[in-house]
Amino acid sequence: MTTLMEFKEVDVHYGPIQALKKVSLTVTEGEIVTLIGANGAGKSTLLMSIFGQPRISSGEIVYRGEDISQKSAHYVASHGLAQSPEGRRIFPGMSVEENLLMGTIPIGMEHAEKDMQHMFELFPRLKERRNQRASTMSGGEQQMLAIARALMSRPKLLLLDEPSLGLAPIIVKQIFKILEDVASTGMTIFLVEQNANHALKLADRGYVMVNGEIRLTGTGQELLVNPEVREAYLGGH
């Protein structure tokens, strides 16, 4: 098992405010790693800093042996890192198919046809809506589209920022089921979530972030039963 991505003592500042404090974490090939934490803990900041938005103020982000912390966003995105951004950010005026094809930008359209068929198998709902404008779909379908679009670039590492955001519990369940299917194909997934229960059940390993620091780490199961985590994130679940 080789390390795919590694954060080494990363600091991030927004002006005078320090958002990430000496964060170190690793993602190994083929595993699902989740990062959970409350609002404002710095989860999204960490994910966005991979793309250089914001730039880290010290430390290193190593991806396949290369420090990518100072690279531009499109460079990172076209080297095997695909992201399903927070808030989905699909192209509202484009059809589902066009959205998926936009996902092939980094690798060209060689495999477009085949991959799109594959996506329609993974997400049958998208197939029903393939010629519909993306803005006319429900939140859950849009989230599926965002994930499918990210997968279209055949990434080595799939980054997901809160795929459960603003979705009904039943849809969240569906989404996580699909993520499980995606993971079973050997895809490495780095999942940032607030929904600790679902995320930890899915994940091989997890990190718990509090106020810009990694407070706890362990396997998904360990964290799920950890009293501190249960207290803070799982509440009455």
- Write out the residues near other proteins by the rule CB under 8 A: 51, 53, 72-78, 82-83, 85, 89-95, 97-98, 101-103, 105-110, 112-113, 131, 133, 135-136, 149, 153
Minimum Å gap between C-beta 204 and other proteins is: 25
Contact 176, 170 (CB under 8 A): no
Considering only CA atoms, which of 100, 81, 102 is closest in space to residue 155? 81
Minimum Å gap between C-beta 5 and other proteins is: 16
Contact 181, 32 (CB under 8 A): no
Contact 3, 58 (CB under 8 A): no
Minimum Å gap between C-beta 156 and other proteins is: 13
HSE-up of 138 (CA within 13 Å, CB side)? Answer: 9
Distance CA 37, CA 122 (A): 29
Q: Which is nearer to other proteins, 77 or 214 (CB)?
A: 77
Q: Which is nearer to other proteins, 152 or 196 (CB)?
A: 152
Minimum Å gap between C-beta 20 and other proteins is: 19
Minimum Å gap between C-beta 24 and other proteins is: 24
Q: Which is nearer to other proteins, 31 or 98 (CB)?
A: 98
Q: Where are the beta strands (DSSP E) in the chain?
A: 3-14, 17-28, 32-37, 58-63, 66-67, 81-84, 157-161, 188-193, 205-210, 213-219
Q: Which is nearer to other proteins, 108 or 227 (CB)?
A: 108
Q: Which is nearer to other proteins, 153 or 164 (CB)?
A: 153
Q: Where are the alpha helices (DSSP H) in 13-111?
A: 43-50, 73-77, 96-102
Minimum Å gap between C-beta 111 and other proteins is: 11
Contact 216, 207 (CB under 8 A): yes
Q: Which is nearer to other proteins, 62 or 102 (CB)?
A: 102
